[in-house]
Amino acid sequence: MEFKDPEYVYKNVIQLNEQDASRKFIANVFMWMFVALGLSALCAFIFSGNQALYEMLRDPATGGNTGLGTIVMFAPLAFVLIISFGFNRLSYGVAAFLFIVFSAVMGISLSYILRVFTESSVLGVFITTSVVFGIMAVAGYTTNTDLTKFGSIMMMGLIGIIVASLFNMFMHSSQLEYIISYVGIAVFVGLTAYDVQKLKRIGAGLEYGASSTSKMALLGGLTLYLDFINLFLMILRLFGRRR
């Protein structure tokens, strides 16, 4: 007669529950990311295709930003800071509302892309970004290697990109812009794998259905959305075809 260790069975059950919670959490994270990307794409298409709306952002006489255009350009950063630093104080409903508004404003701020680059070029880069992002997301979710140290290196690279980009705003160096783009692609490819693994571990340690879990999924969606958008912009800067 075979006897089984009840403690062994208990541990297996807990492990399965953690895996199930992690999968549900990651599904919620990607749901928020896809909603944000869809809303951003819709707003970008509407504002780029409607001349009256587009002229609210760009002055046709000077070719520069209008006052509203300047506000829209910097508003996404303000939303990210509010959501990130005010995360613990915001209710889930308020955080979700801010995330949706942020996605719409980000799409509006990116509407110029469809005016500067050809539609086929933007579509091609979007597909390329989706494939690369998807591969790295799967790699981050399935790998057993701890990417914590790797993520720290990527974060340092991200800081370097920000500093170099601010510096290049005054230098206007095309060579430095290319370097920033290539480094940026490497950084955001790496960050995608790191962030997905981090979110997988967060999901395994949270009780699915709790309000804190829902807020964490929203914040995770914001993180992956920013990874995708920045990767898209870096690739577009290098391989996009201008009109």
pLDDT of residue 90: 86
Q: What is the pLDDT along the chain (243 residues), one digit of tens a residue?
A: 444 444 444 444 444 456 777 788 899 999 999 999 999 999 999 999 888 988 888 887 777 788 888 888 888 888 888 888 888 888 889 999 999 999 999 999 999 888 889 989 999 999 999 999 999 999 999 998 889 888 889 999 999 998 998 888 888 888 888 999 999 999 999 999 999 999 998 887 765 555 578 888 999 999 999 999 999 999 999 988 887
Short-list 141, 156, 132, 151, CA closest to 196: 141
Total length of the chain = 243
Task: Answer yes or no: pTM beyond 0.75.
Answer: yes
pLDDT of residue 206: 63
pLDDT of residue 211: 53
pLDDT of residue 86: 84
